[in-house]
Amino acid sequence: MDELERIKQKRLREMMRGVGSKVDDSRPDWPSIPVEVTDRSFNQVIQKYPVVVVDCWAEWCAPCRMVAPVLEELARDYRGRILFGKLNVDSNVRTAQQYGVMSIPTLLVFKNGQLANRLVGAMPKDMLEPQITKYL
């Protein structure tokens, strides 16, 4: 009986949200905000999730601060389908060097643990979203 109720509740949420929802509610353990990624956790994160977008940023970077709210919104919109991470390049030099991050913000898009795309510079959501979602 609990399983039936769970299915009914899930279907009701889908109907309320409308057709074509971006969120995958079958993965409630996925974070709905960008997670901190470090040199130490980087490989584990990109291997664990099928699609990962890592924001290479720094506190002093104004364009990084401009793109942060866009990434937070996308993390909510695509919870359960895309994991968003934040790698502070000042604190995690090894990974930044490994992936040749020369300018920030740089977004590294991983599909199944492999680098699939590199997006350099701040851009609005309507330009960024299709560049990321094509890997779903």
Is position 64 annotated as part of the catalytic site? Answer: yes
Q: What is the CA radius of gyration of the chain?
A: 16
Quote the pLDDT of residue 12.
57
Quote the pLDDT of residue 29.
76
Q: Is the pLDDT of residue 126 over 90?
A: yes
49 residue type, one letter: Y
| CATH class label, 33-133 | alpha beta
Confidence of residue 10 (pLDDT cuts 50, 70, 90): low
pTM comes to 0.81
Return the structure tokens found at 123: 């851009």
Question: Where along the chain do its domains lie?
Answer: 33-133
Identified catalytic residue from 51, 54, 61, 107: 61
CA distance 17 to 19: 7
Q: Is the pLDDT of residue 7 over 80?
A: no
Please state, rounded to an integer, the average pLDDT across all residues of the chain.
89
Q: Count CB-CB contacts under 10 A for residue 12.
A: 10
Confidence of residue 19 (pLDDT cuts 50, 70, 90): very low
Q: Classify residue 29 as exposed, middle or buried by CB count within 10 Å of its CB (0-12, 13-18, 19+).
A: exposed
Identified catalytic residue from 37, 56, 64, 82: 64
